[in-house]
């Protein structure tokens, strides 16, 4: 039987300006911003049906990057992450996207957000054209979406 990883859970406590990471460490947050993007069908004064939470904070003690920006998108169950790498460290991705269940606890003001990472991730590489060597695939696509090789 395989060893299973514990589900990674995080808390985004807007009232205390902290992010409690999966290891339980309370990380100071430089900013939380709730998206103002209201769909045209939403009447003024009503809640945004598709809120997005933006967070930015330092990442003390990490050997490769010093800063993190995240966007939590609960209606899509994704968390987009932008890592800011130390000078001299070649970034390995542009965006790191976690597929995660996102809950918003409205009982607190402001609301507390929580994520449960389900270990399905997507990584974007926009700065370089993918090649078969990097993707380990029999087809390759450029940044404009033009692909060569077999199609499913």
- Per-residue HEC secondary structure of the chain comes to CCCCCCCEEEEEECCCCEEECCCCCEEECCEEEECCCCCCCCCCCCCCCCCCEEEEEECCCCCCEEEEEEEEECCCCEEEEEEEECCCCCCCCCEEEEEEEEEEECCCCCCEEEEEEEEEEEEECCCCCCCHHHHCCCCEECCCCCEECCCC
Q: What pLDDT does residue 48 have?
A: 64
- The domain locations on the chain are 9-37+49-124
Least confident segment among 30-44, 47-61, 132-146? 132-146
Least confident segment among 5-14, 29-38, 58-67? 29-38
Query: Does residue 38 carry a pLDDT above 70?
Result: no
Paired tokens of 128? 């370089």
Residue 151 pLDDT class (50, 70, 90 cuts): very low
Is this model's pTM higher than 0.85 or not? no
Query: What integer is the mean pLDDT of 64-74?
Result: 96
Q: Are 12 and 113 in contact (CB under 8 A)?
A: yes
Q: How much of the chain, in percent, has pLDDT values that exceed 70? A: 72
Which phi and psi angles does 13 have, rounded to 5°? -95, 95
Query: What integer is the mean pLDDT of 30-48?
Result: 66
Buried b (16+ CB within 10 A) or exposed e, 100-133: bebeeeeeeeebbbbbebeeeeeeeeeeeeeeee
Could you report the per-residue pLDDT of 70-124, keeping only the tens digit for each? 999 999 999 999 999 999 998 888 999 999 999 999 888 888 999 999 888 999 8
Q: What pLDDT does residue 84 have?
A: 95
- Average pLDDT of the chain is 81
Alpha-carbon span 84 to 91, nearest angstrom: 8
Q: What pLDDT does residue 117 have?
A: 93
Q: Are 137 and 149 in contact (CB under 8 A)?
A: yes
Q: Are 96 and 83 in contact (CB under 8 A)?
A: yes
The CATH number that domain 9-37+49-124 falls under is 2.40.380.10
Q: What pLDDT does residue 97 have?
A: 95
For residue 36, count other CB atoms closer than 10 A to its CB: 8
């Amino acid at each position: 039987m395989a060893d299973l990883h514990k589900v990674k859970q995080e808390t985004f406590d807007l009232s205390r300006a902290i992010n409690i990471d999966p290891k339980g460490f309370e990380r100071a947050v430089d900013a939380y911003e709730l998206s103002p993007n209201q769909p045209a069908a939403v009447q003024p004064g009503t809640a945004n049906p598709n809120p997005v939470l933006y967070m930015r904070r330092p990442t003390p003690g990490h050997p490769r990057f010093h800063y993190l920006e995240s966007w939590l998108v609960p209606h899509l169950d994704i968390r987009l992450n932008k890592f800011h790498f130390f000078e001299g460290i070649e970034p390995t991705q542009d965006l790191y996207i976690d597929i995660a269940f996102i809950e918003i606890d409205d009982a607190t003001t402001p609301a507390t957000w929580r994520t449960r990472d389900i270990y399905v991730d997507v990584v974007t590489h926009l700065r370089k054209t993918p090649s078969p060597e990097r993707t380990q695939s029999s087809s390759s696509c450029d940044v404009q979406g033009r692909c060569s090789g077999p199609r499913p």
